[in-house]
Amino acid sequence: MFGSSLWSVSAEPVSRRARPAKAPLSRAVIVRTGLRVLDREGLDALTMRRVAQVLDTGAASLYVYVKNRDDLMAAMLDEALGRVRLPTDGSWQERLQLLVANSIEAMSRHEGLALVALGGIPTGLNALLVMDRMLALLKEGGLDDKTAAWAVDLLYLHITVAGAEQAAYNTKKMNEADHIAEVRKLYAELPADRYPLLTSMGDALFSAGDRDRWAIQVLVNGILNTPADR
């Protein structure tokens, strides 16, 4: 009875105003959507299905623009690195330290993204730009090519871990003070004969201060004092 009318309804052309054209898919749109999903819903929610859903399509459609989930995350990381501000003022050492700090900060904003940088020479255009600027600063500081090259490797590695750690820290559900108190208690209760330092210097272990800034200074000072060719 309703068969043919139902059929004709679904065959009827639908006004574009009632059902407006979707924004066309593209790699850039998928990458930005992935970043939004990651930032708003967390790493667990960053699934191909969820990203597709936000774009009002099916997961299969993403594979035209993105090789797989890892490829998507790598692209998201590079997008995030595109937001790094390149310092212009101060001595070369100040600019280098700020560039490293800015890169760490950019990575730390997005849960789990820093980890995809591990195990793989960077190939993203924005990651490479950061590396090129670091090389320029190191050469400005008078380092030889080999030391500068190795230094950039090490600095990028540090950016990755520091970013990952900071991101994990930012995302921790647990109350930070509670967590530290708990670990502190664990350290204090360790057997003192096997862990003499951890049990005895508890206060210093959790001492406040800008550890991130200090770590970057350590790296730069170390690089200046350690030529690659012994």
Partner DNA sequence: ACCTGAACACCGTTCAAGT
Burial (CB count <10 Å: 0-12, 13-18, 19+), residue 106: buried
91 interface partner picked from DNA, a second copy, none, CB below 5 to 8 A per type = none
Judged by beta carbon distances under 5 to 8 A according to partner kind, the member of DNA, a second copy, none in contact with residue 27 is none
Q: Measured from the CB of residue 69, what is the shortest distance to DNA in angstroms?
A: 4
Inter-residue long-range contacts of 133-141, CB under 8 Å, 24+ positions, other chains counted = 133/86, 133/99, 134/96, 134/99, 134/100, 137/92, 137/95, 137/96, 137/99, 138/92, 138/96, 138/223, 140/92, 141/92, 141/93, 141/96, 141/224
Residues engaged in binding DNA (CB under 7 A): 24-25, 45-50, 57-61, 63-64, 68-70
- Size of the chain in residues: 230
Compute the least distance from the CB of residue 155 to DNA, in Å. 30
User: Please, which of residues 168-227 interact with a second copy by CB under 8 A?
Assistant: 168-169, 171-172, 179-180, 183, 186-187, 190, 194-198, 201, 203-207, 209, 211, 214-215, 217-223, 225-226
Q: Which residues bind a second copy (CB under 8 A)?
A: 115, 118-121, 123, 128-129, 131-132, 135-136, 139, 145-146, 148-151, 153-154, 157-158, 160-162, 164-165, 167-169, 171-172, 179-180, 183, 186-187, 190, 194-198, 201, 203-207, 209, 211, 214-215, 217-223, 225-226, 228
